Amino acid sequence: MSATLTSTDPATRAAHLLAQMSLAQKLGQMIQAERASTTPDDVREHHLGSVLSGGGSVPGSNAVSDWVAMNDAYWMASVSTEGGRLPIPLLYAIDAIHGNANVLGATVFPHNIGLGAARDPHLIERLARLCAEEVLATGLDWTFAPTLAVVRDIRWGRTYESFSEDPAIVASYAAGYVRGLQGALDDNGVIACAKHWVGDGGTTGGVDQGDTALSEEELNHIHMTPYRPALEAGVLTVMASFNSWNKEKCHASRHLLTNVLKGRLNFDGFVVSDWDGVDQLGDDLSDALATAINAGVDMVMVSLDWKRMLTLLHEVVADGRVPMSRIDDAVRRILTVKHRVGLFERVRPAERQWANSPSFGGEAHRAIAREAVRKSLVLLKHEGGVLPIKPGARILVAGKNAHDRGHQCGGFTVEWQGTHGNDRIVGGTSIWEGIKAAAPQAELSIDGSAANAAQHDVAIVVIGEHPYAEGMGDLRHGGSVPRGSGVQTMTNLAPYGSSLVLAQRHPEDLATIQRIQATGIPVVTVLISGRPLVTTDEMAASAAFVAAWLPGSEGAGVADVLLGSHDFHGTLPFGWPAVDEGAYGRSAPLFPRGHGLRVK
């Protein structure tokens, strides 16, 4: 191969570069290290292909400019030509799964479950575009979104990351989400990552990282369906899933990663492993690594000890457990993606046109997120013409989630497990603040003790769950699941609770509703939750009941609909349970998927 190349074809350029690389450079490209354990010098010295931020892992004071400065330093290290070093720009990745919500001041839009209720694929593309701009503002290039999980048991802690239990609804969003993020594969877009391949939403009992016991036909029909439009739209990366399929970990499945994804479905981007997912494949980490790479993992995501992983990668290549052809294939894929988005032509993060863009968290973005909130609300009960509430009415606002922007944003917001209170969600409005802006005479009494029928015409009570992420959101008995069947121990992941019945986990909510109801004031209940819940008692005590999911930073969107400037639009993306049973189709729902009332 000649030293100069005139072709602009990304694959040709990648092959040309590959031919010039040392083994150390190749293996470095296959490592994605977490920022807290990685310096720019590490990137330069070990030729790391990528750095990531885990949930809540942030630089400096978590301002946009801190992010730009951080990635600028990593980038400059990756493209250093010091001592004849081969410059290969790195990719920095983040979980921007409902906006670039790790970052203070971001526009946080509803989690996917609410977007599923909106049934609006065009809206998804606009939100994804908004998200891309807010990721670009921080100088980063890659987001681990969209989640294409088809959740079949709502006890799973990640239910809110799923658009729906229905593969067709999830599939209807996949292409628009990818297009909105990736754009024209130039420096106006970010790389998308469809996750988690595959069957993440299908585990028995909804256990996080558990086992999905299905025939291949069912796996294909239910869980692979949304990936087809994502792949057709050109999604450049796919993340392997923590779950097992019929007791084999997806990270170890050559069939799923190579034969199906890269073979049958023709995926020509690269596969990244999930957070230390390789470590789960066995007690001997080098064997686990060899298994994952041979199965088809191209880039290894490591939380802490990426140096050890890199050493082991050298070891498994040296002793022949992983053939050089597999390494070359993995690196060629990574480099091709980098070329396809023009990474080699990009200027340093600090000098990019989008860096520190004022559109980050700006009014135009918040208006789109607010529209998404309006469209995501599902009206489940409406009696006595209590809605819409007249803006001039004497409104009492109550409930522990009424004035808590952290709670309404849910997990993966500022922190991995989300945040409490209003201080760390900079910008936006709590639901209370939205109501107050439209109806200045409204009064706030969190526990409802100020309720007085002589002074209040109607009460809005905002109740529900606290933020959670991943296994900490599971509803199951016991703190751990058994090992030995390819299912990871979860002793450090205590679940949220064991019941879908809200009153069992949060009796204070029903108490607040009943306290107000007892005074004779009609109650409009708004539920903040990452999934449908058994709320029969709360509904019975309410004149109207609204599922608001996890609306994000723009609580004013809830006020827009309750106060009638817009009508309800959303319909259930999941069946609503009548009893404490989370598995899809196991018992008759109280309301079927697709249910949703209108007022006007």
Q: What distance in Å separates the CA atoms of residue 135 and residue 558, rounded to the nearest whole number? A: 26
CA end-to-end span of the chain: 69
146 binds ligand BGC (CB under 6 A): no
For ligand BGC, which is the closer residue by CB, 195 or 566? 195
Span 364-393, contacts to ligand BGC by CB under 6 A:
none
**For the residues of 539-594, what is the DSSP string, one character each?**
HHT-SEEEEEE---SBTHHHHHHHTTSS------SSPBPSSS--BTTSS--SB-TT
Residue 55 vs 596, nearer CB to ligand BGC: 55
Q: How far apart are CA 378 and CA 104, in angstroms?
A: 29
Q: Is 464 in the site for ligand BGC (CB under 6 A)?
A: no
Q: What's at 5, amino acid-wise?
A: L
Residue type (1 letter), 292: A
By CB under 6 A, the residues from 307 to 346 that bind ligand BGC are none
C-beta separation of 357 from 492 below 8 A? no
Nearer CB in complex with ligand BGC: 203/401: 203
- Rounded CA gap, 241 and 3, in Å? 39
**Residue 160 interacts with ligand BGC (CB under 6 A): yes or no:** no
With contact defined as beta carbons under 8 Å apart, do 70 and 34 qualify? no
> 523-528 and 544-549: which strand pairing?
parallel
Does residue 18 sit in helix, strand or coil? Answer: helix
Q: What 8-state DSSP symbol labels residue 237?
A: E
Residues in contact with ligand BGC, shown as a per-residue x/- string from 226 to 265 under the rule CB under 6 A: ----------------------------------------
Q: Which is nearer to ligand BGC, 141 or 470 (CB)?
A: 470
**Binding residue (CB under 6 A) for ligand BGC from 274, 298, 371, 465:** 274
Q: How far is the CB of 201 from ligand BGC (least distance, A)?
A: 12
Q: Which is nearer to ligand BGC, 208 or 509 (CB)?
A: 208
Beta-bridged to residue 382, according to DSSP, are: 544
How far is it, in rounded angstroms, from Cα 305 to Cα 329?
24
| Distance from C-alpha of 517 to C-alpha of 129, rounded to nearest angstrom | 43
CA 573, 577, 578, 584 dihedral sign is positive
What is the contact mask toward ligand BGC in residues 52 to 91, using x (rule: CB under 6 A)?
A: --xx------------------------------------
Smallest separation (angstroms) from ligand BGC to the CB of 102: 9
Q: How far is the CB of 437 from ligand BGC (least distance, A)?
A: 35
Q: Chain-centre distance of CA 5, in angstroms?
A: 40
- Rule CB under 6 A: is residue 275 a binding residue for ligand BGC? yes
Whether the CB-CB separation of 556 and 437 falls below 8 Å is answered with yes
Closest separation between CB of residue 195 and ligand BGC, Å? 6
- What character string, x for contact with ligand BGC (CB under 6 A) and - otherwise, covers 4-33? ------------------------------
- CB 234, min distance to ligand BGC, A: 20
Which residues are CB-neighbours of 328 under 8 A, at least 6 positions away? 18, 26
**Residue number with CB closer to ligand BGC (35 or 403):** 35
Q: Give the list of residues 6+ apart from residue 49 with CB closer than 8 angstroms, or none.
A: 28, 29, 30, 31, 32, 88, 90, 91, 299, 334
The C-alpha atoms of residue 462 and residue 546 are separated, in whole angstroms, by 9
Subset of 170-229 contacting ligand BGC (CB under 6 A) = 195
Give 120 or 415: the residue with its C-beta nearer to ligand BGC: 415
95 vs 404, beta carbon nearer ligand BGC: 95
CA–CA gap between residue 588 and residue 506 (Å, rounded)? 24
CA angle 553, 121, 147 (to 5 degrees): 65
HSE, side-chain direction, 13 A CA sphere, residue 51: 28
Q: Is 466 in the site for ligand BGC (CB under 6 A)?
A: no
CB of 514 to ligand BGC, least distance (A): 39
Among 73, 75, 92, 95, binds ligand BGC (CB under 6 A): 95
- The answer to whether 125 and 180 are in contact (CB under 8 A) is yes
Strand pairing class (544-549; 378-382): antiparallel
Give me the active site residues, please: 274, 470
Binding footprint of ligand BGC, residue count (CB under 6 A): 8
Rounded to the nearest whole angstrom, what is the least distance from the CB of residue 275 to ligand BGC in the complex? 4
Of residues 102 and 529, the one with the C-beta less far from ligand BGC: 102
Q: Which of 144, 197, 227, 496 binds ligand BGC (CB under 6 A)?
A: 144
Task: Determine phi and psi for 464, rounding to 5 degrees.
Answer: 130, -155
Tokens of 252: 């170890």
Angle at 135 between CA 133 and CA 139, to 5 degrees: 105
For residue 159, the minimal CB distance to ligand BGC (Å) is 14
40 touches ligand BGC (CB under 6 A):
no
Beta strand spans in 57-192 (E) = 91-94, 142-143
Measured from the CB atom, the residue of 273 and 429 that comes closer to ligand BGC is: 273
Nearest residue to 533 (alpha-carbon basis) of 318, 380, 325: 380
We find the least distance from the C-beta atom of residue 135 to ligand BGC, in angstroms, to be 14
Q: For residue 524, what is the enclosing H or E element?
A: strand 523-528
Smallest distance, Å, CB 409 to ligand BGC?
Answer: 17
Q: Give the residues lining the site for ligand BGC (CB under 6 A).
A: 54-55, 95, 144, 195, 274-275, 470
